[in-house]
A and B are shown apart, each in its own frame.
Chain A
Amino acid sequence: MSVYFDHNATSPMDSRVLEAMLPFLQQPHGNPTSRHGLGRQARAAIEQAREQVAAIAGAHPSQVVFTSGGTEADNLAVQGMCAALAPTRIAVSVIEHPAVMKPAQAMQRRGWSLTKVPVDANGQLDMQALEQTLRQPTALLSVMVANNETGVLQDIAAVTRLARRHNTLVHTDAVQALGKIEVDFTGQGLHAMSLSAHKIGGPQGAGALILDKSLDIQPLLHGGGQEKGLRSGTENVAAIVGFGQACELAQQELAERSANMLALREVLEAGLHRLGATVFGERVERLPNTSFFAFEGIDGETLVMALDRQGYAVASGSACSSDSTDPSPVLMAMGVAPDLALGAARVSFGPGNRIEQVSGFLQTLENELLRMKRMAAIAV
């Protein structure tokens, strides 16, 4: 089997998470809304998971709304918060994930103005531009904690301080940050925060919106009234239990996991520099597991395919948009030249990766780069 270096796309399930989930897949259990014993057991399992998710996010269990994943949490935040307000302005960072950007654009069709706040060459939010934006009435600001492609971190506490001065609500997409760095909903003064299970060793199909309950918010899904009416639909018990377990493990092991992944990345990036790579956002704080880089004159898509053939799974951009062959919008926003941006490849480590895999990867990368350059020379 190949070596997996694409944990920002999705992560392998931790076997301890699977163990926690199995009873809810293999043994009879009820619908958590049912009032008989089996239903109440399922309900209790969900409430335990709610506590586990709240604990890692620095939130109270009552602030956790379970969803089908990060995309739904982002949509619920943006569409739900806006639907409860008279249309004014939404501001988002220009590098938001499509799960924030697209719902924000959808709100434009309902009479909202949308401002995309620029980032600097390192991928960090231009705070002056943000301040200028917020001087106009802005109901909602959404800024991600960590970018999925570059791993670059935003100073969320500074963002919320500024926004609160202008009475702007702040949502953050913390999907990529969770389990890799500390996230603190209460401490950072947030109004809403999106999380996902499958990026932290949990299953696909579960996520959460952490929500300041004093807010007015309209649900996205109407029906049975689950999740206090904020998210109707029978709860995905097994996945929610897995999400909770993954959060608990990630919280316990955060320091160790981060240190290990950072050590791997340092070796990787030393090697990348030796081979002449540009590493994006490397001058600023990033997630410990992510490295987004490019080589002049090398096509990223071709490189990634070649690496896959050699047994290394890496990404050329975000999985959600890896259908397209345009240069990464995140890199464009950072002012990277389109030619270089087209060469971009992303390595994202997980807790299971080891140093031998990194040295093997660097050796393979060197060989492939040589081969590709030779091919290019022949073509000319």
Chain B
Amino acid sequence: MSVRKPIYLDYSATTPVDQRVADKMIPYLTEHFGNPASRSHVFGWVAEKAVENAREQVAALVNADPKEIVWTSGATESNNLAIKGAANFYAGSKGKHIVTVTTEHKAVIDPVRELERQGFDATYLDPEPNGLVDLEKFKAALRPDTVLASVMLVNNEIGVIQDIEALGNLCRANGTMFHVDAAQATGKVDIDLEKLPVDLMSFSAHKTYGPKGIGALYVRRKPRVRLEAQMHGGGHERGFRSGTLPTHQIVGMGEAFHIAKEEMTLENARIKRLRDKLWAGLSEIEEVYLNGDLKQRVPHNLNVSFNFVEGESLIMAVKDIAVSSGSACTSASLEPSYVLRALGRSDELAHSSIRFSIGRYTTEEEIDYTIVLLKAKIGKLRELSPLWEMYQDGIDLNSVEWATH
């Protein structure tokens, strides 16, 4: 089989910029380079017009009012602004308790931890073994002083889709601000913010074929949501977020979201077929486990644990494919994925898991190659594994008493 290697199956870490997006961006790096805050000349006006056009494109994908979109440097900043900004603004009137989920991205967990250091109280809910949040448990976690809840729409590692509408309604009933990290969701699932009971939603461009370094925060206007700004200065973005707007990146995000809106239905059908083919192929291997619910899941994600294979050697063995063993943002560490741990996976299974994320440029040949490669490599690695041998011999590994050194 002749496919170009390495095969990129890490679209949840980042996506290439769509050529159509790059083409739209480049004029704003060259001839239309003005500062959108410059009000005294045409260079500024051209840039400002482009920024506002992009704001409409982003709003259109999620059915929001363009005035509800605040530009940021990315989803991490959006999450920080939403969580610290809302918690601090409303703490005085509502209270200092926050509810979130253990499988959230670090960019949600860490701001909540920071708030704990500042005297807030936080509840970290464990999801069910399929990765989904139980509504009753969520409801029970909400307290009269719960100022903010934050639950991601799509999990970055296992791709499961939370029932945001139901969770949001519980928050509404409790008078709790509801923030949703949707960095992994745009272009994958339909988002209708006119319908969804969500107050704040974070977006990123570079997970949806736009450039890195740009994101947005949706801030609801009706009823009006207020925030304490985290970055102070020239008062850009109606005071929510100061700093010169990077016009070319904003243009890129707008175009990327516009393309997503136009093409997501067809694209997701194609990608889902590839993903299902990949899973069908991999599940022919013995002792593999799918992580996360298969049905309530984005079409492009597959997270699989390969039992009786050592994690690091697995990644080394499949270096022809660019995949992720945890989330990219934590894969510098050798800790087993905290998301998989929260689902109740053992350290061993968490270590020997791979996240495959398929995207716009993935071909059927690449999927075929990946299946063949995994089958061969898993077979080889297991040949070297004494545990696999014991398992084959019918020994219950859980009953073995390991000697400690």
Task: Enumerate chain A interface residues (CB-CB to B < 8 A).
Answer: 1-2, 4, 6, 9-13, 15, 18, 21-22, 25-31, 33-39, 67-72, 74-75, 97-99, 102-103, 105-106, 196, 198, 203-206, 220-226, 232-239, 301, 304-305, 308, 312-316, 318-323
Contacts and interface: CB of A to CB of B under 8 A. Distances in A.
B331 A308 contact: no
B95 to A, nearest CB: 20
Nearest to A9: B35
B110 A223 contact: yes
A74 B213 CA distance: 18
Interface string B106-138: 111011011000000000000000000000000
A273 B213 CA distance: 44
B337 to A, nearest CB: 14
B29 interface: yes
Given A221-B80, A222-B114, A232-B110, A72 B243 contact: yes
Interface stretch (B166-174, B321-329, B376-384): B321-329
A318 B74 CA distance: 26
Interface string B1-22: 0000010101001101101001
A232 B40 contact: no
B212 A99 contact: no
B243 A71 contact: yes
A31 B38 contact: no
B38 A315 contact: yes
B107 A97 contact: no
Contacts of B75: 233
A99 B206 contact: no
Contacts of A319: 35, 37-39, 44, 234, 244
Interface string B193-230: 00000000000101000011110000000000000001
A223 B80 contact: yes
A250 B315 CA distance: 42
A4 B43 contact: yes
A72 B235 CA distance: 13
Contact of B107 (A26, A36, A37, A224): A224
Given A27-B16, A38-B8, A239-B249, 15 more contacts: A2-B43, A13-B33, A21-B29, A31-B328, A33-B329, A68-B246, A75-B231, A223-B107, A224-B105, A235-B213, A236-B74, A236-B214, A308-B41, A313-B42, A313-B44
Given A71-B243, A98-B242, A234 B236 contact: no
Contacts of A39: 10, 13, 322, 328
Contact of B232 (A12, A67, A106): A106
Nearest to B39: A322
B76 interface: yes
Interface in B237-269: 242-249
19 contacts: A9-B34, A9-B37, A31-B13, A99-B233, A99-B243, A103-B231, A204-B244, A205-B73, A205-B249, A206-B213, A222-B107, A223-B106, A233-B75, A233-B77, A234-B74, A235-B213, A236-B74, A239-B246, A319-B38
Given A39-B13, A71-B244, A224 B41 contact: no
Contacts of B80: 220-223, 232
B25 interface: yes
A10 B230 CA distance: 23
Given A31-B328, A205-B249, A315-B38, A98 B232 contact: yes
A69 to B, nearest CB: 5
B400 interface: no
Contact of A31 (B10, B29, B325): B10
B370 interface: no
Contact of A68 (B19, B110, B243, B329): B243
Contact of B33 (A11, A70, A99, A320): A11
B249 A204 contact: yes
A18 B43 contact: no
B232 A99 contact: yes
B319 interface: yes
A279 B325 CA distance: 61
Interface string B352-379: 0000000001000000000000000000
A226 B19 CA distance: 27
Contacts of B108: 223
Given A37-B6, A223-B80, A319-B44, A69 B246 contact: yes
Given A13-B30, A97-B233, A223 B242 contact: no
